[in-house]
Amino acid sequence: MVAISRSSAAAAGIIAASGIKGRTVTTIPKDGGLTDFLRSIISIDKESSGGGEPFYVLDLGTVVSLMETWSKSLPTVHPFYAVKCNPESALLGSLAHLGASFDCASRAEIESVLSLGVSPARILFANCQLGDKYGALPDEIDPLLAKAQSLRLSVVGVSFHIGSGGETGSGTYRGAIEAARAVFDSASRLGLPRMHTLDIGGGFTSGPQFEAAASEIRAALDDYFSGEPGLNVVSEPGRFFAESAFTLAAAVIGRRVRGERREYWINDGLYGSMNCILYDHATVKCVPLAVASNGLDPKCEGKPTFSSTVFGPTCDGLDTVFTGRQLPELGVNDWLVFPDMGAYTAAAGSNFNGFDTGRILTHLAYTVDQS
């Protein structure tokens, strides 16, 4: 751990934000700092309570960087963070401080956002996802608009959602924005009041895929909506802000050797944080942190590896995190570290078999560049 000033405006503002103020935030260097921080948490917990419980680390510095990326790549699109993705109060508080608004799908989510001092004007109520069950086909647009007109309903705009992780190109966003333009034109032709809102949905991931999607969106908005006065373009990103900001650490609580194969049990699994494997089609990544069996080299760099299976803690055989992955030899009380575990993980976990996902603690870090 290194002593680094928190005097920067971004760090100071985040640390004082609602949902974070009063909690311990540890500044760590970007290069190698997370491993040291994880080891310190494991050591402190072991000394104070016997340790061994799974935990998260939320990197607030990553949240700041992601908001900077969003603002640079989609400057005309206002993000409404999808609270259902991960309702951790420190994440909500940091996003509120950075200027985001919020997509809430229940009364409880609305109350959690309001409790942070966020204005109701910054909340979008999104009770259901668009898909085959909801939404309109192109030939249904005019009849629906005409019906709304006859009922004196206020139609304010168009919303679409192309699906999670669906931003990899092929003109999908361009096609959706072009279709939205056609709806705006139909409303104008029918004499409805001018529509003013375009919601381009969510499902974004961070990284190169986002940059490609943002480029396509910017170009399509310029082509189809550049002359639209007073247009409010919004989006409902969840995983973009949550996924890479969280790291999960789980302890090895059991092991078995079968020839050249290794089997490990950890204290989180598919009924807990890793429900994303079932419900979100996620493929989790992990790295070893062998603090008990190999303390001098906990990452086990250069060590022999074995085909390994990792099980969760419950009695259900379905609770299998992965099979056939190469891992070094691990022992009980070693740890596995899972990066990119912020999206649809703890938010959808259960307390099956008494393993209560809601009891998993989140430790706060703020990565800083030492250069």
Longest dimension (CA), the chain: 75
Torsion angles phi and psi, residue 255, rounded to 5: -150, 155
Residue 295 DSSP symbol: T
SS3 37: helix
Q: Classify strands 77-82 and 101-104 as parallel, antiparallel or unpaired.
A: parallel
Q: Classify strands 287-289 and 261-266 as parallel, antiparallel or unpaired.
A: unpaired
Which residues are CB-contacts of 369 (< 8 A; sequence separation ≥ 6)? 29, 30
- Angle at CA of residue 355, ends 351 and 361, nearest 5°: 95
Compute the residue count for the chain.
371
Active-site residue among 276, 286, 300, 315?
315
DSSP assignment string, 129-161: --BTTB---GGGHHHHHHHHHHTT----EEE--
Which residues are CB-contacts of 232 (< 8 A; sequence separation ≥ 6)? 78, 157, 196, 197, 198
Q: Report how far residue 280's alpha carbon sits from residue 267's, in angstroms, rounded to the nearest whole number.
A: 21
Annotate 346-370 with b (16+ C-beta within 10 A) or e (fewer): bbbbeebeebebeebebbbbbbbee
Known catalytic membership, residue 128: no
Do 250 and 336 meet the contact criterion of CB atoms below 8 Å apart? yes
User: Could you tell me the two tokens for 335?
Assistant: 């740890």
196: nearest Cα among 226, 171, 232, 162: 232
Q: Report how far residue 256's alpha carbon sits from residue 269's, in angstroms, rounded to the nearest whole number.
A: 18
Residues catalogued as catalytic? 315
